[in-house]
Amino acid sequence: MLNIKENAEAITVEIKVQPRASRNQIVGEQDGLLKVKLTAPPVEGEANQALVNYLASVLDTPRRNIMLIKGETSRNKIISIKGMSRDTFLHKIGQ
């Protein structure tokens, strides 16, 4: 079960990022975290930017609605997504 917290304005999701993958994709749930593979390398924030861009396209939401809260230099990250419910998020990522 994914670790997703929801309030009136946004949801927060814990994500495990695997950089330098062959393609960008959502792998699924791993230990309560959403596992996401990204082609970007983990240097100078490239993987973080790629994560925001990828999630924005998958979730069909503006990039400005997705914010990295914790884990800037870690593979485990917490992101906030404004204006989206838990159910909508799960539906859009196919969970």
User: pLDDT tens digits, residue range 36-91?
Assistant: 999 999 999 999 999 999 999 999 999 999 999 999 999 999 999 999 999 999 99
- pLDDT at res. 15: 97
What pLDDT was estimated at residue 18? 97
C-alpha radius of gyration, the chain, whole number: 12
Domain chopping of the chain, boundaries: 4-93
Return the closest-CA partner of residue 40 out of 54, 61, 60.
Answer: 54
pLDDT the model gives residue 1: 85
What integer pLDDT is reported at residue 77 of this predicted model?
A: 97
> What pLDDT sits at residue 95?
76
Could you give the CA distance from residue 53 to residue 31 in angstroms, rounded to a whole number?
24
pLDDT of residue 71: 96
| Range 4-93: architecture per CATH | 2-Layer Sandwich (3.30)
